[in-house]
Structure 1
Amino acid sequence: MIRGLQLSLNKTQKLRLESALEQLESLSSKTNTNASVAVADTIPVNYEDGVLKGHGTSEMEGQVVATVCGVVERVNKLVYVRALRARYKPEVGDIIVGRVIEVAPKRWRLEINFSQDAVLMLSSMNLPDGIQRRRTATDELNMRTIFEENDVVCAEVRGFQHDGSLHLQARSQKYGKLDRGQLLRISPYLVKRRKQHFHHLDQYGVDLILGCNGFIWVGEHVEAKDDMVVDQTNKSEQQNANSGGSVGSDDQEQSHTSLEIRQNICRIANAVRVLSALGFMVTVEVITEIVDLSSSLNLDIHEMLGAEFYVVVAEREAERRRSSTKKR
């Protein structure tokens, strides 16, 4: 059940974990009896309505059966099965986090946890000066000053082009390069599409970006700056440099992340790792609950990845779901 993780559980912890996971499985099966299907399960349909068989379905002996495990979805006459643990499937408007793997002519190539790399065109990028204008040959020569290989970038899915490539765009101050933080990679099905994927955890001084592609960014909070303010700041810095003014100490202060913030980043990142390993949905509410739980138990950051904490989180989740079903 805990995928890709080797835990040294003692006999008591193993029994507790198995019990919690069994409770979670029984609770989920009760709530999704009509929707959830396994391979070869029959999907009830009315043939008089002219049903269309979609992805994850097949016809055997006059019945529609599921060919993958997942949830039955119906859109008008179309019936299909949405796989629970499928690869990331981009949709226009998705907020994604990726890593630059190549700086090509007029474009960057990004790895985004998809079957192919994504493309961020220079023309789809918000330039550092904030001025909306045509890109010149000088801009193309200075592409590495914006992003270079291994940089972590936040962008939005623009759509598929006629050549089949996936194109991104970053035409806002909230998109762009991410630094002073950690990049986590989890299964995309654990991140639900929501209206808000950017979160500022004010109490921790941390920014959290839940990428629809399963890339999670946890980093120091950065204030979104207005284009005019940035432009005036750049001019004043140039004037200081020309007049021989020293701004080295300010730069050092800006580039330094305090110990408390770094500890908060690590604690939040470990909460995401625990949720991912247990196969629980990753939301900002659940992450903060896990962080608060670890603090209330007086656990050090590294102890969050210990066997006991995984068992405690699974038991708490089973108890939470059981109480929520009773309220219904």
Structure 2
Amino acid sequence: MAAIEIRLPVARKLVVQSLAQGSDKHLVAPGDTITTDTGYMRGHGTYMGDEKLVASVAGAVERVNKLICVKALKTRYNGEVGDIVVGRVTEVQQKRWKVETNARLDSVLLLSSMNLPGGELRRRSAEDELAMRDYLQEGDLISAEVQAVFSDGAVSLHTRSLKYGKLGQGVLVQVSPSLVKRQKTHFHDLPCGASVILGNNGFIWIYPTPEQKDEEAGGFVTNLEPVSLHDREVISRLRNCILALVAQKLMLYDTSIVYCYEASLPHQIKDVLKPEVMQEIVLETRQRLLELEG
């Protein structure tokens, strides 16, 4: 006989009143009037109609001085210079790689925009061009920084810093880019023993924290040693916690992930994705974040 799991309904916990007030945002749907004041400038996600500013996407209204834009709740990645992204190489072309970064168009990583293995600085030769597939090939995951955004919205990447480059062993989680909070740094070594790269494009990379930072390889030598059971459990729990935060529409950054991880410790890893457990740990995370802010 196969084991059958039965879950009984439980009463929902009430959210703290101050928490509900603190998360209040001006949400609009396509066609909603944002303002009739003609003194405002039109930003992304808006258009002018009948002398009033109207939303063209569903999302939260953001005002910067006289500029009004609507940040979509669920959207493709729109690149900005300086963003940290995680992407997957889809094609090797002449002097460049095509990279999937959750944007409307494939991003481009030029051969001249990357450090050669060993951090060597010199002009790229024909031999380097022939050896491109030795550095990166189809299916490889990389971390990079946005160098430029073209007029059609395509993104040009670079990996000139030794902290960027090819990613080794870990887990990739894909979320909506609107849920990743912009911060000064997106590389975090968490106290639980794992590290995360929170890509602005919604690709999140979870991997075991390296014991020593090897910066001589230039980011192209991957560590393929076996990962310990403890590290795999930590990575699995972190992945489930991130999925729980995404399901409850909570912003992703290092503090929220650590709080959610600590709230999930009384539960088994596989139970974190159960709806009632997910709601319980995310509610505790929300309240801890509110206490931290207040």
What's the TM-score once normalised by structure 2's chain length? 0.84
Going from structure 1 to structure 2, the CA distance change for 1:314 and 1:11 (only over 3 Å counts) comes to farther
Going from structure 1 to structure 2, the CA distance change for 1:123 and 1:156 (only over 3 Å counts) comes to same
Deviations 1:3-52 (A, max 9, x none): xxxxx995624x52xx65xx48995566536x4444454434544xx433
Q: Point out the more displaced range, 306-315 or 153-162.
A: 306-315
Alignment of 1:219-298 (within 5 A): 219-222=207-210, 223-227=212-216, 255-295=225-265, 297=266
| Alignment partner of 1:312 is 2:283 | no
| Alignment partner of 1:69 is 2:66 | no
CA distance in 2, matches of 1:108, 1:197: 23
User: Which has the larger Rg?
Assistant: 1
Going from structure 1 to structure 2, the CA distance change for 1:41 and 1:10 (only over 3 Å counts) comes to farther
CA distance in 2, matches of 1:144, 1:153: 14
Deviations 1:111-139 (A, max 9, x none): 11111111111111111121101111111
Going from structure 1 to structure 2, the CA distance change for 1:213 and 1:36 (only over 3 Å counts) comes to same
Specify every segment of 5 or more residues in structure 2 that has no aligned partner in the other structure, as ranges: none
Q: Which amino acid aligns with 1:260?
A: H
Which residue among 301, 309, 313 is the counterpart of 2:269? 301
Going from structure 1 to structure 2, the CA distance change for 1:24 and 1:102 (only over 3 Å counts) comes to farther
Q: Is the 8 A contact 1:88 1:213 kept in 2?
A: yes
Partner residue in 2 for 1:245 = none
Q: Which amino acid aligns with 1:214?
A: G
Q: How many residues align?
A: 287
Partner residue in 2 for 1:32 = 24
Partner residue in 2 for 1:211 = 199
CA distance in 1, matches of 2:96, 2:16: 46
Partner residue in 2 for 1:237 = none
CA distance in 2, matches of 1:31, 1:117: 34
CA distance in 1, matches of 2:203, 2:114: 20
Deviations 1:217-262 (A, max 9, x none): 00122343343xx59xx9xxxxxxxxxxxxxxxx9x9712211111
Alpha-carbon deviation of 1:175? Answer: 0.3
Q: Which amino acid aligns with 2:137?
A: E
Alpha-carbon deviation of 1:145? Answer: 1.7
CA distance in 2, matches of 1:207, 1:53: 39
Q: Point out the more displaced range, 70-79 or 95-104.
A: 70-79
Q: Is the 8 A contact 2:45 2:69 kept in 1?
A: yes
Partner residue in 1 for 2:171 = 182
Which residue among 54, 75, 78 is the counterpart of 1:86? 75
Alpha-carbon deviation of 1:324? Answer: 7.2
CA distance in 1, matches of 2:283, 2:224: 42
Alpha-carbon deviation of 1:67? Answer: 3.8
Q: Is the 8 A contact 1:24 1:318 kept in 2?
A: no
Going from structure 1 to structure 2, the CA distance change for 1:163 and 1:136 (only over 3 Å counts) comes to farther
Q: Which amino acid aligns with 2:235?
A: I
CA distance in 1, matches of 2:70, 2:117: 44
Q: Which amino acid aligns with 2:278?
A: Y
Alpha-carbon deviation of 1:169? Answer: 0.2
What's the TM-score once normalised by structure 1's chain length? 0.76
Secondary structure of the 2:166 match is: strand
Going from structure 1 to structure 2, the CA distance change for 1:25 and 1:99 (only over 3 Å counts) comes to farther
Secondary structure of the 2:98 match is: strand
Going from structure 1 to structure 2, the CA distance change for 1:173 and 1:202 (only over 3 Å counts) comes to farther
CA distance in 1, matches of 2:123, 2:253: 39
CA distance in 2, matches of 1:161, 1:37: 29
Alpha-carbon deviation of 1:83? Answer: 2.4
**Structure of greater relative contact order (alpha carbons < 8 Å, 6+ residues apart):** 1
Q: Is the 8 A contact 1:173 1:225 kept in 2?
A: no
Per residue, is there more helix in 1 or in 2? 1
Partner residue in 2 for 1:125 = 114
Superposition CA RMSD, Å: 3.2
Specify every segment of 5 or more residues in structure 1 that has no aligned partner in the other structure, as ranges: 1-7, 235-250
Q: Is the 8 A contact 1:27 1:321 kept in 2?
A: no
